[in-house]
Amino acid sequence: MDYRDRHVIITGGTGALGIAVVGALVTAGAVCHVPYVHAAEADRFPMREHAQVKLQVGIDLTDEAAVARLYAGVPNLWASIHLAGGFAMSPIGETTKADLMKQVDLNLVTAFLSCRAAVNAMTRTGAGGRIVNVAARPALEWRAGAGMAAYAASKAAVAALTAALAEEVVKAGILVNAVAPSIMDTPANRAAMPKADYSAWPKVEEVAATILFLAAPDNKVTRGGVVPVYGRS
């Protein structure tokens, strides 16, 4: 896939999946714009000195004005990939309204504001573009969200946002899709579940490959999809 000289924003780009996505995009020739909040994220980011990577400090993705500034500073935006989010697991009886709203902010609000800013930026260029969100397995298989209802509901909202927006902006040449991972093989997930069968989990590089196709110029027809990326789990 050829991303030469194409500008791509990757929210959550300093995380485990983000590093895989940014690495694949750089190899394909993209210029990657990666927002972050905390200095430690940049310090451990392996591509922080790469010529094709532009780190953007202090971007709160739940702040509408901050998101608008981020997107206004990227020339000729081609793709916007929204990996930022959060996870929480607790029975509903122990989940407060504040807990619910935190999941909505981290998962839905960050995706919505980034989608909004991306559509505005792409519409200004008139060249179309690609948007990829990240839902989750419980967004498609609701019963899998038992014990994590707030998280499942927020990710289901991301899936609905994806399908609705895809229909809204297709005539502008903007194709919108999402991936829905199961538990991915990351160091953090291994540490949290030491007895799990890691071999069945999708690798971040495999999920990144699906994201790259959906965001690529080569994808000319796929829109409104929420693509399961479950591996063998």
> Which DSSP string do the residues of the chain spell out, in sequence order?
---TT-EEEEETTTSHHHHHHHHHHHHTT-EEEEEESSHHHHHT-TTTT-TTEEEEES--TT-HHHHHHHHHTSTTEEEEEE---------GGG--HHHHHHHIIIIIIHHHHHHHHHHHHHHHHTS-EEEEEE--HHHHSGGGGTT-HHHHHHHHHHHHHHHHHHHHHGGGTEEEEEEEE-S-B-HHHHHH-TTS-GGGSPBHHHHHHHHHHHHSTT--S--S-EEEE-TT-
Q: What is the pLDDT of residue 142?
A: 96
Q: Is the pLDDT of residue 206 over 90?
A: yes
Calculate mean pLDDT across residues 171-182: 98
Residue 233's pLDDT is 87
Q: Find the Cα–Cα–Cα–Cα dihedral 71, 130, 167, 224, rounded to 10°.
A: -130
Domains and CATH numbers, the chain: 7-229 (3.40.50.720)
Inform me whether the pLDDT recorded for 8 exceeds 90. Answer: yes
Q: Is the pLDDT of residue 147 over 90?
A: yes
The confidence score (pLDDT) of residue 151 equals 98
pTM here is: 0.96
pLDDT tier for residue 32 given thresholds of 50, 70 and 90: very high
On whether the CB atoms of residues 233 and 203 are closer than 8 A, the answer is no
Q: Would you say the C-alpha torsion 135, 137, 140, 143 has a positive or negative sign?
A: negative
Average pLDDT, stretch 67-91? Answer: 97
Report the percent of the chain where pLDDT is more than 90. 97
> What is the predicted pLDDT for the residue at 1?
87
Arithmetic mean of pLDDT, 195-208: 94
Report pLDDT digits (tens) over 161-170: 999 999 999 9
Write phi, then psi, for 219 (nearest 5 degrees): -80, 105
Mean pLDDT score of the chain: 97
Q: Shortest CA distance to 132 belongs to which of 195, 174, 185?
A: 174
| 35: amino acid identity, one letter | P
Q: Which of 82, 84, 74, 83 is nearest to 33 (CA)?
A: 74
How does pLDDT run across 33-76, given as a tens digit for each residue?
Answer: 999 999 999 999 999 999 999 999 999 999 999 999 999 999 99
Amino acid at residue number 29: G
pLDDT for 59 equals: 95
Q: What is the pLDDT of residues 108-126, one digit of tens each?
A: 999 999 999 999 999 999 9
- Give the mean pLDDT of 211-226: 98
